[in-house]
Amino acid sequence: MCDDRWVLTGPSDLHLHSSCSDGTEPPAEVMAAAHDAGVRTVALTDHDTTAGWAEAGDAARTLGLTLLPGAELSAKHAGRSVHVLAYLFDPDAAELVALMAGVRENRAGRAERLVANLARDLDVTWDDVVAQRTGDATVGRPHIADALIARGIVASREEAFATLLSPRGPYYVSHPAPTPIDVVRVVRAAGGVPIIAHPAGRGMLPVPVLEELLDAGLSGFELDHRENTPDGRATLARIVAERDLIATGSSDYHGTGKLNRPGENTTSDEMVARIIAQATGVPPVSG
Ligand code: AMP
Ligand code: FE
Ligand code: FE
Ligand code: ZN
């Protein structure tokens, strides 16, 4: 590689959330938290939105970080939730803008229905959720969990997810989302680089489905993530080696909303360079 503009100078963490979705800190604080943890290349990957890119970019420049603007896109395969990380796509690409807007709208309707279900038995209202959400942040169960905590009904997001917000519980509502193959195609068309988030967690996609996604333009897998199981990770590591794919490692930081710490998993400089080389949407932001 002769292009020395993106000299990477330290650990890379390519999966962090801000209060533009279900993280607890604004984008500038997320950048500062990553910097404090020794991370030097970051990606902001809020769920289904690019709303945090500008603030994160300003903070990255000030802190001397390299930022890969991104998002974590919601998808669904045969009823299973699949998250697709997308890096360096054109944030104005019409198809992708529409896809994210549609998911955000479906998420909002779903959250209201879930809260209405909870309100049958518990003292919690939609206004309580609105109070926990920053502006029009992509809404998710974490905001409902925070409303339940504020009401003293549960002690933590973990407890809320394990009980009242569980898909196996009586209140749960799911939200429609595009198929992973549609998401991969739309990200690629927007010049972005699609990578499946926490691909070896509960409900791992069958290998033939993964192969189809790779044929449709999927770039690789987030191999190092605390939710991946050792067996699933080993299966995916074999596919990565066979097909020479991109493999990443990252924290999935959500501020105080999850235990995940910035830099707890990292991505090699070689893999970051390959993501940058594949992208045609926007360049990284460099401090
Ligand atoms: P949703 O997208 O609304 O279905 O909510 C899922 C989101 O909640 C994911 O993006 C996770 O970041 C977060 N989440 C899932 N499980 C937990 C947990 N046990 N504690 C805190 N956050 C969680
Ligand atoms: Fe999240
Ligand atoms: Fe995720
Ligand atoms: Zn995430």
Is residue 258 in contact with ligand 1, taking CB distance under 6 Å?
A: yes
Domain hosting residue 118, numbered range: 109-162
CB of 166 sitting under 6 A from ligand 1: no
Q: Is the model's pLDDT at 179 over the cut of 60?
A: yes
Instruction: Report which bound ligand comes closest to the CA of 259.
Output: 1
Residue 8 has pLDDT above 70, yes or no: no
89-148: per-residue pLDDT in tens? 999 999 999 999 999 999 999 999 999 999 999 999 999 999 999 999 999 999 999 999
Q: Is the CB of 157 under 6 A from ligand 1?
A: yes
Number of residues that make up the chain: 287
> Would you list the DSSP string of 2-61?
---TT---S-EEEEE--TTTT-SS-HHHHHHHHHHTT--EEEE--BT--TTHHHHHHHHH
Average pLDDT over residues 222-237: 98
pLDDT of residue 1: 45
pLDDT > 70 in the chain, percent: 97
**pLDDT higher at 2 or 31:** 31
Q: How far is 90 from 97, CA to CA, in rounded Å?
A: 9
In this structure, the residue with its CA closest to atom 14 of ligand 1 is 142
> Does residue 116 fall inside a structural domain?
yes
Could you tell me if residue 117 is inside a domain?
Answer: yes
Residue 64 is assigned to a structural domain of this protein: no
pLDDT of 283 above 50: yes
**Distance in angstroms (rounded) separating the CA atoms of residues 193 and 68:** 11
Verify whether ligand 1 is closer than 6 Å to residue 175 (CB atom): no
Neighbours of 95 (CB within 10 A): 13
| 14-34: average pLDDT | 98
d(CA 281, CA 276): 10
In a domain, 153, yes or no: yes
Q: Which atom of ligand 1 is closest in space to residue 107's alpha carbon?
A: 3
How many Å apart are CA 179 and CA 167, to the nearest integer?
20
Beta-bridge mates of residue 44: 16, 69
Please give the average per-residue pLDDT across 229-241, as a whole number: 98
Question: What value does the mean pLDDT of the chain take?
Answer: 96
Model confidence at 5: pLDDT above 80: no
Find the 46 Cα to ligand 2 centroid distance in Å: 8
Query: 10: pLDDT confidence band, cut at 50, 70 and 90?
Result: confident
In contact, 43 and 87? CB cutoff 8 Å: yes
User: What pTM was estimated for this model as a whole?
Assistant: 0.97
Which ligand 1 atom lies nearest to the CA of residue 257?
A: 21
Q: Is the dihedral of CA 181, 187, 188, 189 positive or negative?
A: positive
Rounded Cα distance between 9 and 136, Å, is 35
According to DSSP, the β-strands at 41-44 and 12-16 are parallel
CA of 15 to the centre of ligand 4 (A): 6
How far away, in angstroms, is 261 Cα from ligand 2 center?
14
State whether the beta carbon of 23 lies less than 6 angstroms from ligand 1: no
User: Which ligand 1 atom sits closest to the C-alpha of 81?
Assistant: 4
Banded model confidence at residue 287, pLDDT cuts 50, 70, 90: confident
Measured in Å, residue 5 CA sits from the centre of ligand 2 at: 32
- Quote the number of domains for the chain: 1
Specify if 127 maps to a domain: yes
Q: Is the pLDDT of residue 3 over 90?
A: no
How much distance in Å is there from the Cα of 155 to the middle of ligand 1?
15
Q: Output the CA 286–ligand 1 centroid distance in Å.
A: 30
pLDDT 10s digits, 79-104: 999 999 999 999 999 999 999 999 99
Using the mean position of ligand 3's atoms as its centre, give its distance from the Cα of residue 3 in Å. 32
Ligand 1 atom 16: the closest Cα is on which residue? 161
Q: Does residue 146 lie in a domain region?
A: yes
Answer yes or no: is 120 within a domain. yes
- 12 pLDDT more than 70: yes
Residue bearing the CA closest to ligand 1, atom 13: 142
Ligand 1: which atom is nearest the Cα of residue 110? 3
What is the per-residue pLDDT for 266? 98
Residue 202 pLDDT: 85
Rounded to an integer, what distance in angstroms lies between the CA atom of residue 22 and that of residue 253? 10
Classify residue 119: in a domain, yes or no: yes
CATH number at residue 117: 1.10.150.650
